[in-house]
Structure 1
């Protein structure tokens, strides 16, 4: 048997129990640049993984690409290699007045519109963040917004109309593409998981022009830098992470 796992090509055993997961491989590299003694431990397709330490605590930083199915492959192999606490750092569109570009959102739960967890467990099963991670994130970033986020598999609508009005009425505060997959996976495996998201645009119906979406702005980059520190601090501070 190979010493590395087949999809992410990370070591089969021995990774630290805490992992920060991100979508973009370049973001994984950028986060690793903040760690002490960062080492690339696996790279394949959209998956790029590093180990290092943050304030003396060993952590993993790993990218999962776009969308739930591919991300689920990463989560499974990280868990097999030793990860027990997952924290997703990503970007999201705002669905609420007063939540603007660069703001941080701490997910308490997620709408399961991810296109993959329906094949793992009945749709009535909830996607919920581990309370200890929500508390740890809130302690580090008290200014962050907290609430339910919408994980959706399709980035943009085409023929079908999104149930936007219903989720806005239900006070869902942001939309992204992978978090509910992580939350359901972790719950089913008895692991810990949570998410902190940086707002990179307004996704409400009054802002429907896809060409207006531009996540590559200073305000978003500054939010991601802030969220990186928040996520790493929360990841090492969460009680019972090991």
Structure 2
């Protein structure tokens, strides 16, 4: 069922939150959490066609090795991913401002580039990891039918989703380590951190239970939402993770910026050849 009348546009005809028009995005879209990282990615573009920012949503469209690419910040978490993925889909698949279904629907390539923490001791800090699968305990499933949920602890439910198999293969060929990612709704308690408040999810730092059963490799805050929404909307999604910490060994990367830059450059290289 489609209810395109619910699409909200700004006075200039741009989509509500991103402030973008259909011709201002490309069929390859890189998503990053941090608005400042948009400029880091676009710093490798040979040309820039558009720069736009509204709230935490910063967008730059340009070319890398001749390939048109858009990079947009989501902010942190799947609540923002919900906004960005839906609005990107509207830009690609709805004629605006008429609010009519596009006669030639597009399947975007959506590539997350972000940081992450490992929850297995054998995953070294500095690893570049591509998420083959993702489990989400972020709550986004309350708004959509992501399929059956798994009760991983009493009262805690997770949904399961996968990245695009063809894209995963391409990034494996480029040296990315394949992993299974857990997406959480927050950075502290929801990722098992106990600072001044005990976390109900401290078991995420163990190598047993759900972590071992599902072969989880890393924690972050967007991948499952991107994969699940992309599957429903008909887009091809991939998540690239720079492992900057190991939650089991307590190790942190001494050169986080260099690790992230390597991920960006390798990611752009693969995307430009698709």
Contact 2:24 2:50 in 1 (8 A): no
Counterparts of 1:22-33 in structure 2, within 5 Å, are 22-33=32-43
Which residue of the other structure, out of 173, 197, 212, is the alignment partner of 2:217? 173
Report what 1:2 is aligned to.
12
Q: Which range is displaced more, 120-129 or 24-33?
A: 120-129
Using the alignment, how far apart are the partners of 1:138 and 1:236 within structure 2? 16
Q: Does residue 247 of structure 2 align to residue 237 of structure 1?
A: no
> Structure 1 residues 178, 118: closer, same or farther in 2, change over 3 A?
same
Kindly indicate whether residue 167 of structure 2 is the aligned counterpart of residue 133 of structure 1. yes
Cα distance, 1:117–1:2 mapped onto 2, change above 3 Å: farther
Rg larger for? 2
Contact 1:102/1:222, CA 8 A, preserved across alignment = no
Give 3-state SS (helix, strand or coil) of 2:52's partner.
Answer: strand
Displacement of 1:3 in angstroms is 2.6
Give the TM-score normalised by structure 1: 0.86
Instruction: Indicate how the Cα distance of structure 1 residues 14 and 27 shifts in structure 2: closer, same or farther if over 3 A, else same.
Output: closer
CA distance in 2, matches of 1:220, 1:12: 35
Distance in 1, matches of 2:258 and 2:210, equals 28
SS of aligned partner of 1:71? helix
1:112-164 CA distance string (max 9 Å, x none) = 11221342114526310000110111122x2x321211101121114423442
1:52 counterpart SS class = strand
Structure 1 unaligned spans of 5+: none
The structure 2 residue matched to 1:106, chosen from 120, 124, 130, is: 130
Greater RCO, CA 8 A, separation 6+: 1
> Equivalent residue for 1:95?
119
Match of 1:227 in 2: 263
Runs of 4+ residues deviating >6 angstroms: none
Which whole-Å CA distance do the structure 2 matches of 1:231 and 1:114 have between them?
26
Which residue of structure 2 lines up, in the alignment, with residue 120 of structure 1? Answer: 144
Displacement of 1:35 after TM fit? 0.6
Structure 1 residue 47: deviation in Å?
Answer: 0.6
The structure-2 alpha-carbon separation of the partners of 1:135 and 1:162, relative to structure 1 and needing over 3 Å to count, comes to same
- Relative to the length of structure 2, the TM-score reads 0.77
- Counterparts of residues 1-242 of structure 1 (less than 5 Å): 2-82=12-92, 84-124=108-148, 126-140=160-174, 142=175, 144-157=176-189, 158-164=198-204, 165-170=208-213, 171-204=215-248, 207=250, 219-238=255-274
Cα contact 2:146–2:228 (8 A) shared by 1: no
